[in-house]
Structure 1
């Protein structure tokens, strides 16, 4: 499938899949979307000094990069797992301008290391950021109660509806700790209903530029009421 590097509205780059007419990030601003959806509505809400994160769609590594930056700024430790079936190639990576747009030159080597480290190997990128990339289908995730936070950043339901089903969200639910949070840019009613069907409490939130709403789902394990057998 042909992939083209484009510049989004906030000046940051993303990858466009020509055949699907689909983008890795919002054309209204890749960095703005990433911060709004995954940091502001996700990471910021987790009140822990050590946070385990599962990213569904490691892609260009933008979400991992901004999370590393936030970990340094907030003085927290991140254990980050990124799942990606079709990794970006070095020629594409060379064209991504996230370091310059984020004014994060001191973190360039860390960003390159994220892409260079072997798959399936847990790697300490910095003293506060650990990364394990897994090259596999999202359906093959088998983790149980492992994550505080899920960045659900799969391609949209328009082109890959199979990634937004009850089956997938049941896998996410199982992989998350109690009180864990899942955030996604998506806001379709069918996605919200699929989340609710597997047990998530779901709320609509203001979306990033170009989108009216987004979704945040919380895993709340049902408790046994007093006196129940």
Structure 2
């Protein structure tokens, strides 16, 4: 049976989705776009572009494809900077296409990729534009086995109170294992035990100012 969800408009004019099952919003109600821009683009992608400036391409792994907003913003930046990005995302519970087509991200951001991202076949690599290819995997993070190492991880699971199994030391060890040396993980959650679990598997944890109404967010770096 399909889980009950509803579209919501956040404070910056961008959409989010509310899940009745998890009692969680997919993005901050204070602004979906500005949250993703701060947490994943500014602290993640822009840092990866700088840190790995000599590399011909950047490989990104996203935990939780969700609304596709993080992928959309990344595709836009890849085109702007003309940097090749290979983007892999895993999602256990995909947003139905009829709901995805109601999201207003393309109109708000002046992009035209959102439908392509959601309509891309699962478990296949799809070229969205010359600088961005997408591989969406339908499944659980715990079952994911990487065949390559990534430069950057967007860790965008639901909050720990909804999905505690995804914020454990074991999961962060799995994330560290799929990152190459010097790689980055960014997340909106800065709870103390999340920081401790990241440090326990060897990450260097940096605390940064967050988006609206969020004091701190995390960038974790795997030592080179």
TM-score grouping bracket, smaller chain normalisation: over 0.9
Which structure has the larger Rg? 1
Secondary structure of 1:182's partner?
strand
Secondary structure of 1:81's partner?
strand
Q: Deviations over 1:35-89 (max 9, x none)?
A: 0000000111112352100000001110000000001111111000011010000
Residue 53 of structure 2 is aligned to residue 51 of structure 1 = no
CA distance in 2 between partners of 1:167 and 1:113 (Å): 34
Match in the other structure for 2:71: 64
In 2, are the aligned partners of 1:144 and 1:176 still within 8 Å (CA)? no
Match in the other structure for 1:41: 43
Question: TM-score scaled by structure 2?
Answer: 0.94
Q: Deviations over 1:103-122 (max 9, x none)?
A: 22xx2xx3212111211111
Match in the other structure for 1:12: 14
In 2, are the aligned partners of 1:143 and 1:174 still within 8 Å (CA)? no
Give 1:197-212 correspondences, 5 Å limit.
Answer: 197-212=200-215
Match in the other structure for 1:180: 183
Displacement, 1:17?
1.1
In structure 2, list runs of 5 or more residues that go unmatched.
none
Secondary structure of 1:91's partner?
helix
Secondary structure of 2:145's partner?
coil
Q: Which of 94-103 and 13-22 deviates more?
A: 13-22
Match in the other structure for 2:156: 153
Match in the other structure for 1:82: 89
CA distance in 2 between partners of 1:128 and 1:25 (Å): 26
Displacement, 1:21?
2.4
Question: TM-score scaled by structure 1?
Answer: 0.92
CA distance in 1 between partners of 2:125 and 2:35 (Å): 27
What RMSD over aligned residues (CA atoms) do the two structures have, in Å?
1.2
Match in the other structure for 2:28: 26
Match in the other structure for 2:99: 92
Match in the other structure for 1:224: none
Give 1:111-130 correspondences, 5 Å limit.
Answer: 111-130=114-133
Change (3 A) 1:73 1:79: same
In 2, are the aligned partners of 1:145 and 1:174 still within 8 Å (CA)? no
In 1, are the aligned partners of 2:101 and 2:115 still within 8 Å (CA)? no
Displacement, 1:2?
1.3
Displacement, 1:19?
3.8
In structure 1, list runs of 5 or more residues that go unmatched.
222-229
CA distance in 1 between partners of 2:93 and 2:43 (Å): 27
